[in-house]
């Protein structure tokens, strides 16, 4: 599966862990950043992942930030994208 993945500085460490696990599982990944824990603006990364999903260049998108709410709100601004904050197996 083609997956676009992005995070802000608060989600950088978890994003890298997820990226490694997804690659091991054979998924094709497009990592839009962030690429360090230097403070960045989460809407920039949410928009890039959302555009990839809406355009069809990614089948799914994963966004990671401090709470998940900001990324979901920013991604949902894009036509054809539905994002939700997921914090456990059931959400």
Domains defined along the chain, listed by start: 7-75 (3.40.1400.10)
> pLDDT tens-digit profile of 22-74?
999 999 999 999 999 999 999 999 999 999 999 999 999 999 999 989 999 99
pLDDT at 77 over 90: yes
- Just list the catalytic residues: 65
| 11: nearest Cα among 54, 66, 88 | 66
Give dist(CA 26, CA 10) in Å, integer: 26
pTM: 0.92
Q: CA angle, corner 26, sides to 22 and 29, nearest 5? A: 55
Give dist(CA 44, CA 33) in Å, integer: 10
Give dist(CA 83, CA 13) in Å, integer: 21
**Per-residue pLDDT at 60:** 98
For the record, the structure tokens of 79 come out as 């036509």
pLDDT at 2 over 90: yes
């Amino acid at each position: 599966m083609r997956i676009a993945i992005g995070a802000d500085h608060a989600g950088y460490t978890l994003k890298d862990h997820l990226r490694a696990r997804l690659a091991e599982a054979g998924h094709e990944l497009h990592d839009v950043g962030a690429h360090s824990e230097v403070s960045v603006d989460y809407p920039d990364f949410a928009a890039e992942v959302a555009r990839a999903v809406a355009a069809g260049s990614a089948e799914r998108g994963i966004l990671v930030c401090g709470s998940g709410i900001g990324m979901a709100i920013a991604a949902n601004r894009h036509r054809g994208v539905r994002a939700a904050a997921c914090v456990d197996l059931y959400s």
